[in-house]
Amino acid sequence: MENQSAYRVRSVGRDDYVPAYLSLISNALSWGGSRLFLRRFGVGINEWRVMSAIVNQPGCTATQVGDELGLNKSVVSRSLQFLQSRDLVNVDAADGRRVLWLTGPGHELHDQLIEIALKREEFLLAGFSQQEKELLLSFLRRMYDNVPAMNAYDPGE
């Protein structure tokens, strides 16, 4: 049996590590939302996110959707193929670019999904005041702005 005291073990528990909570919450949001949306509407969380990005930026490209959502282009492509097969998204290539639009049924589905998404946010933020929600959003935006520096960090360099 090796002497365990010879190893320096540094442990950080979930209660003291922000990325752990962010990951747990993100996973719960994605898993729960996807399960609900699939059961009720036949679309998963990736399709919902793609639809939402198109509503927020009508006439965008698949590349722009991927950049906006931080999704791999293959995930965006599969989601778009699925949404097109359900007549929820149109791809217009008239100007040389492949621009995306929600169809009438796509807008109808989006309107149903956004109501559920906002209600789920309400549950998530139960007990938070409006001021606390705004403060939380300001913290999250600042954290998001720090992502490039975090991802550029390489202790080997």
- pLDDT by residue, tens only, the chain of 157 residues: 566 666 776 777 778 899 999 999 999 999 999 999 999 999 999 999 999 999 999 999 999 999 999 999 999 999 999 999 999 999 998 777 889 999 999 999 999 999 999 999 999 999 999 999 999 999 999 999 999 999 999 998 8
The C-alpha torsion from 136 through 140 and 142 to 143, rounded to 10°, is 140
Q: How far apart are CA 20 and CA 25, in angstroms?
A: 9
42: left (phi over 0), alpha (psi -120 to 50) or beta: left
Helix (H, G, I), strand (E, B) or coil at 58: coil
Q: How many helices (H) and strands (E) does the chain have?
A: 6, 3
CATH code that applies to domain 14-146: 1.10.10.10
Instruction: State the amino acid at position 10 in one-letter form.
Output: R
Q: What φ, ψ does residue 42 adopt, rounded to 5°?
A: 80, 15
Helix (H, G, I), strand (E, B) or coil at 61: strand
Instruction: State the amino acid at position 53 in one-letter form.
Output: A
pLDDT of residue 6: 67
Confidence (pTM) = 0.85
